[in-house]
Amino acid sequence: MSVDVSNYVVLAAVMFFIGVAGVLLRRNPLIVLMSIELMFNAANLALVAFSRVWVNNAGHIFVFLVVTVAAAEAAIGLAIVVALFRRAKNVDVDEVAELRG
């Protein structure tokens, strides 16, 4: 392999923390969900890189599982956004406090 695996892992780490910053900084729930997708994909990249190092496709299977979980998460998250919007006509993750006791 011409490129060292550390490069892939550092790239995945940078991408993951861009996603973390997005989740912490944005109030638009759609962009928060997209940042979570970024984090999923960063983890996937690390898994594929490690899988390539060991020439063992268990990592590929795990990436498949993560993709499925990401799809389920996106569907549920967007359903929650739609439900919130229908209910209050206002979508701002800071003002959604209905579950507060």
Partner 1 sequence: MTLFWILAVILIASAVFTVTQRSPVYSVVGLLTNFLALAALYLTLNAEFLAIIQVVVYSGAILMLFVFVIALLSSGVGPFREGPDRLPRVLLPALAASLAGLGFLVYAVARVPLGPLPAHRPTSTLGQAGAADVFGSVSDFGVALFTTHLLPFEITALVLMVAVVGVILIAGDAAPLPTRGRHRKAAREREPIVKAGR
**Residues numbered 67-96 forming contacts with partner 1, rule: CB under 8 A:** 67-72, 74-76, 78-83, 85-89, 91-92, 94
Cα–Cα dist 30/20, whole Å: 14
**Residue 34 is a binding residue for partner 1 (CB under 8 A):** yes
From 22, 36, 96, 101, residue interacting with partner 1 (rule: CB under 8 A): 22
HSE toward the beta carbon, residue 4, CA cutoff 13 A: 3
For the chain, the helix, strand and coil percentages under 3-state DSSP, each to the nearest 5: 75, 0, 25
Task: Return the structure tokens found at 30.
Answer: 């759609």
**Residue 100 is a binding residue for partner 1 (CB under 8 A):** no
**Residue 36 is a binding residue for partner 1 (CB under 8 A):** no
**Residue 97 is a binding residue for partner 1 (CB under 8 A):** no
